[in-house]
Amino acid sequence: MIVIEQMLSKQDVALYRKTLQNVTWEDGKKTAMGMAASVKQNGQALASDPKVQQLANQLLAKVGSTPKVVSAALPQQIFPPCFNRYAQSQEYGFHVDAAVMRIPDTQVVLRSDVSMTVFLSEPEEYDGGELIIATEFGEQSIKLPAGYAVVYPSSSLHKVTAVTRGERVAAISWMQSMVADSALRQNLYQLDQSIQALIAAGQTDRSELDNLHHVYHNLIRQFAQI
């Protein structure tokens, strides 16, 4: 579970929120699969709406240009981002994301390895609405500033608690990683972040950094499924 700080700027968030006020919304149950439909109570922006598609493409570009997301997920394929909102009393009970997803209106399927939620509402705009992720260390509650994102294994049980005041708006997406094993992917992420920290500190000999880069990329070369 990795937090991406300020993935979207305040200006980006304002544009997304303004645009989403003028799109078509439908019952979120229509896009849920299997058992998830019975515990899903929210609204979802109509994916075929051109304005929604434009926002989704803009967010895809942000994913590709955010190094921490790329490092954490090592994405091979990305499901077009969806936009949801939770009004008062709406929630999404515990569920696991579908293991295999088909990108709408295509024959392309992807394996969901990594889930991502991008918060578009400020925490003070609503009560409740926490993203709860069940981990080996217990349930983790997440409620981040607008523009922040969290990525976590799609295999995790998770839910969104009931909103009791205001409205919670967010974007969600799923990624098929080049490295399917979540533990290995986490180790690669930690290695990459350590390398980046050493580079930023500017106190490590270039040859040692080259050696670390050599190890990192050879591990990806060994385990990437492409």
pLDDT at position 123, please?
A: 96
Reported pTM: 0.91
pLDDT, tens digit, for every residue of 23-59? 999 988 887 766 777 888 899 999 999 999 999 999 9
Residues 113 and 204 in one domain: no
Same domain, 173 and 190: no
DSSP letters of 68-84? HHHHHH-EEEEPPPEEE
Spatial CA neighbour of 174 closest among 108, 226, 225, 221: 108
Distance CA 57, CA 7 (A): 15
- Looking at the fold, whether 133 and 201 belong to one and the same domain comes out as no
Q: Which residues are part of a known binding site for Fe cation? A: 95, 97, 158
Looking at the structure, do residues 83 and 166 belong to the same domain, yes or no? yes
Structural domain boundaries enclosing 99: 2-177
Q: Are 34 and 98 in contact (CB under 8 A)?
A: yes
Report how far residue 98's alpha carbon sits from residue 138's, in angstroms, rounded to the nearest whole number: 22
Q: Structural domain tally of the chain? A: 2
Binding-site residue positions: 95, 97, 158, 168
Encode pLDDT of 120-149 as tens digits.
Answer: 999 999 999 999 999 888 899 999 999 999
CATH of the domain at 74: 2.60.120.620
- Please give the pLDDT value at position 37: 73
The CATH number assigned to the domain holding 212 equals: 4.10.860
Residue whose structure tokens are 């399927």: 109
- Split at pLDDT 50, 70, 90, the class of 162 is very high
| pLDDT tens, residue by residue, 84-107 | 999 989 999 999 988 999 988 889
| Residues of each annotated binding site for 2-oxoglutarate | 168
